[in-house]
Amino acid sequence: MSEIDPSLKQHSLALTQMIRQRIAKESNISFSEFMHMALYQPGLGYYSSGTHKFGKDGDFITSPEQGDLFAKCLAKQFKQVLDSLDTPVIMELGAGTGQFCYDCLIELDQLNCLPEKYYILEVSADLQHRQKQKLNTLPEPIKQRVEWIYEPPIDEFNGVVFANEVIDALAVEVFKVEDQSYKQLRVDCDSDFSKTWVKFPNALEVDLLSKNLDLADGYESEFIPYLSEWLQTITAGLEKGAVFFVDYGYERNSYYHPQRNQGTLVCHFQHQANFDYFKNIGIQDITAFVDFTAVAEAADDCGLSVDGYCTQAHFLMSLAIHDKLGDSENDFENYYRKTTEMKKLTLPNEMGEKFKVMALSKNFDEDLLGFSFANQLHLL
């Protein structure tokens, strides 16, 4: 790992001091409050600041950064939904570098299925700037369809909601089983950050108890609080269409497996994983794997149908990713590059099984193409 840039150290120190001041006012804060500040504090949080996050110069590489195969496959799935709707739109949550939007719109143009609008809901001013730089290179008729928004549409719309690696970045509550009851992790700070465990507030305890977990004493893990409220907010305007989430995670039985007794929280800094979330605050990512059963339950709460769930590999194979590799005889270099990209997206030891795809819908009754090879709803 390279030496940390002094400006990044100053950035981290400024946010650390702000969190310390917050704790000083309240004696301690919940882990979800700490995580939210570390990631989203305006101007200083990891996703709100100008530090590089994606690609080889950042902290991690997402599927859209591997190449255009991922976006091309999703475009094929989006087309199925968009073709059945009047004046459809696409809303992408957290568009990263803008690469997915770029590749997806180029492919949808080739498929004669451009949406009326492609909304990007982005909380980071810096990422929005980078997205605009990327998407300004689109052909003018396509570029004009892209619009940045700061909150989900309130007015009714038809179309697709898409989020790649967004749910894993929602702040989580951390709990521990102690004497057959749940304790909440709160963050204290004297000379350094420390953990303290207290009884859960009633509302959060009810949410945790509803999961009907049977865990041994000492078991630690996490959950996303108010997930239904978050999902309701982003889908409130959806009148007809589908929602696609791509993220790393498990169904509940695997998520809270007895051997996974230290939870799933992980930090990423300069392409290295670590488990010290009190280090490099504001300049490293903090994420938790997704409990997709909880997402399905939230969908039920919001009146959405849960239509599909499978591995990323199965999803991309259903959408014929293998047909998008090019000509092996006349352009072997490109074919080799695309084959390497496909392997990263689909092999079990790469992103193929770690990442899952979930589809929700509203007033949409067709069987979705991306789950024709395998639909594992029964695992939820």
Residue type for position 294: A
pLDDT band at 327 (very low <50, low <70, confident <90, very high): confident
Per-residue pLDDT reduced to its tens digit, 342-359? 999 999 999 999 999 999
Measured distance CA(199)–CA(84) in Å, rounded: 50
DSSP string, 217-244: TT-EEEE-TTHHHHHHHHHTTEEEEEEE
Residue 7 has pLDDT above 90, yes or no: no
Task: Map out the domains of the chain as residue ranges.
Answer: 6-361
The angle, 0 to 180 degrees and rounded to 10, between the axes of the packed helices 69-82 and 99-110 is 60
CATH number of 6-361: 3.40.50.12710
Q: Is the pLDDT of residue 49 over 80?
A: no
Continuous H helices in the chain: 6-26, 31-40, 63-66, 69-82, 99-110, 125-135, 140-143, 202-209, 227-235, 252-255, 292-301, 312-318, 332-346
Q: What pLDDT band is residue 71 in, cutting at 50, 70 and 90?
A: very high
pLDDT higher than threshold 70 for residue 291 = yes
What is the amino acid identity at position 311?
Answer: T
Whether the pLDDT of residue 329 is over 80: the answer is no
222 — pLDDT class (breaks 50, 70, 90): very high
Q: What is the pLDDT of residues 78-130, one digit of tens each?
A: 999 999 999 999 999 999 999 999 999 999 999 999 999 999 999 888 889 99
- Residue 165: what pLDDT? 96
Token digits of residue 297: 């339950």
